[in-house]
Structure 1
């Protein structure tokens, strides 16, 4: 098996890419790294659910997740304001709590501030973070600040539930569903890269800048959900994680994937394959879930679309016109070359 490890560094590299360092420690991808940690780190009975889901669940029902965000990889200050960076990162962190079936309680913020950062920048960043917390009914409860060469954030988010929704739980006969529009955030990112002044009211741009966690939709759909993940790394990668955790086969019908007109136009004009684009585009932070029985086509204002089904077997498959093929596409992965 071939392994490689990618580290984020402070030196060059293109926006959106990590910089490769030579290392004797090698892993093929993030899932391989996670699996290795699960094998090597023992449980001591204090954690109800540990490594391998969107968040950990402690013995008392507290849900806890930690995420890191780096300039040039997770956000770009060339077209996002400091306030927008704060809101975007808060949405991503708190979405993991929602994806566990929990209501967010608190957000803890650790910052590495570059020399060029000004007081008004930091104030704007925290206003962005808190604007998302206010909408979800949680609060910033602490953190830490250090000096660094570039802007880095590490956000810890907490919530509480006695009945978490897990990636494991899908059963043969379930349907596979998605909230919102597939590929919207990446469509918005590409639009902003071309035109930093693009209207934030544009649906695609809005989903990139502020991918609001689907808390209300999760609460409305919760009684029907058997397995759940949020689409941070792309539908292909995240559906594969559902299939692996639930030990089932998931079939995706690409013609049913919901997309914005802007996404279809982007792919047509740029020569991109639409199916590949929407299956691998990440950071939509939509709910990708399995459910049995009837599921409404909307959860409040959020559209809900059936995009596939669950069967006995293993793996992730694509079905077109009655013909199946194993889906080998993968979403974004920090550790994969």
Structure 2
């Protein structure tokens, strides 16, 4: 059956029932929910905490290609990129609103698969999908809004503007894996099965570092951003907001062996500018980072330090402390001075 055959009201009813069945009435979100899908707005009981809200979109032809992405994975990712923003603020995700625009020729089964992917991740993090919007469009466009909160009113937020000179720069997980997965999928590259599976998963199903965000808050980290645009770009955001500069040692960048082995010299560029890793990039004292490393469920790597130079400037250094000429490194997306 086509979406055009089911109609907007039929589609809303179908998805509403699907979400209602998946809602855990015993979860915190379920217990506080007053109104979900079906009214002009969702409503829920507040609590004694700071409320957070974020919104992001995935657009066909810009952020994904249906020929290389399953609808289930697309649903997962549409929610994951927003949960990552909440994680980067040190918050916990609570509710989601989904605005979905798509052609009427779209199969209903594809839309339910999209929601199945969202609901799979939503269940894992206790998030309730409580409403949204549907519209007709020539291409698929998924805009997701997440409402979250901090653990309490006293809990501090993680922000981009709190980095201090002398702090170390660290990152969760690995860099460049999602970009390597995208290149593999779009260029139809072939590697060993294990490498291909890990690269595809990194691009199609990024895992939000919500637990890690809570650990950062608990150990006194102040400055954090999630890596969506790429390491250098997002580190510049922190440096600009904090009025500081940074130095990064490229030999310290955490890159999976599957990326190094299959992308050779391009691995550096993927790690620096690939984007969509949705890891947490943060700054803190070495002592605090040691405590974070001991507590975190994922690898944490120190890759550089914050300095008191020109606001927004990021310098890359090789293993001997010399500035890196990025053009010679095989990466020419942008230049540094």
Alignment correspondent of 1:33 = none
Alignment correspondent of 2:202 = 207
Determine whether 1:71 maps to 2:64: no
Tell me if the contact between 2:160 and 2:237 (Cα under 8 Å) persists in the aligned partners. yes
Deviation at 1:312, TM superposition (A): 1.2
Q: 2: CA distance between counterparts of 1:299 and 1:89?
A: 28
Alignment correspondent of 1:174 = 167
Deviation at 1:302, TM superposition (A): 0.7
Alignment correspondent of 1:226 = 222
1:254-290 per-position Cα deviation (integer Å, ceiling 9, x unaligned): 000000112112322xxx4432221010100000000
Q: Superposition RMSD on alpha carbons, in Å?
A: 2.6
Q: 1: CA distance between counterparts of 2:332 and 2:56?
A: 21
Alignment correspondent of 1:39 = none
Alignment correspondent of 1:313 = 309
Q: 2: CA distance between counterparts of 1:330 and 1:235?
A: 15
Q: Secondary structure at the match of 1:229?
A: strand
Alignment correspondent of 1:48 = none
Tell me if the contact between 1:174 and 1:292 (Cα under 8 Å) persists in the aligned partners. yes
Match of 2:114 among 125, 131, 135: 125
Determine whether 1:141 maps to 2:130: yes
Alignment correspondent of 1:285 = 278
**For structure 1, which segment, 222-231 or 121-130, has the greater mean C-alpha deviation from structure 2 after superposition?**
222-231
TM-score if structure 1 supplies the norm length?
0.75
Structure 1 residues 196, 121: closer, same or farther in 2, change over 3 A?
farther
Match of 1:160 among 128, 149, 157: 149
Tell me if the contact between 1:105 and 1:158 (Cα under 8 Å) persists in the aligned partners. yes
Tell me if the contact between 1:78 and 1:196 (Cα under 8 Å) persists in the aligned partners. no
Tell me if the contact between 2:316 and 2:324 (Cα under 8 Å) persists in the aligned partners. yes
Tell me if the contact between 1:69 and 1:75 (Cα under 8 Å) persists in the aligned partners. yes
1:171-203 per-position Cα deviation (integer Å, ceiling 9, x unaligned): 111110010110011111222231699779832
1:66-91 per-position Cα deviation (integer Å, ceiling 9, x unaligned): 11111121112112111110001111
Q: Which runs of 5+ in 1 are unaligned?
A: 1-59, 333-337
Higher-Rg structure is 2
Q: 2: CA distance between counterparts of 1:298 and 1:281?
A: 28
Superposition map of 1:1-337 within 5 A: 61-161=50-150, 162=153, 163-193=156-186, 194=188, 202-222=197-217, 223-268=219-264, 272-294=265-287, 295-296=289-290, 297=293, 299-314=295-310, 315-320=313-318, 321-324=320-323
Q: Which runs of 5+ in 2 are unaligned?
A: 1-48
**For structure 1, which segment, 159-168 or 225-234, has the greater mean C-alpha deviation from structure 2 after superposition?**
159-168
More helix by share: 2
Deviation at 1:325, TM superposition (A): 5.9
Structure 1 residues 88, 160: closer, same or farther in 2, change over 3 A?
same
Q: 2: CA distance between counterparts of 1:75 and 1:140?
A: 22
How many aligned positions are there?
A: 271
Deviation at 1:313, TM superposition (A): 1.6
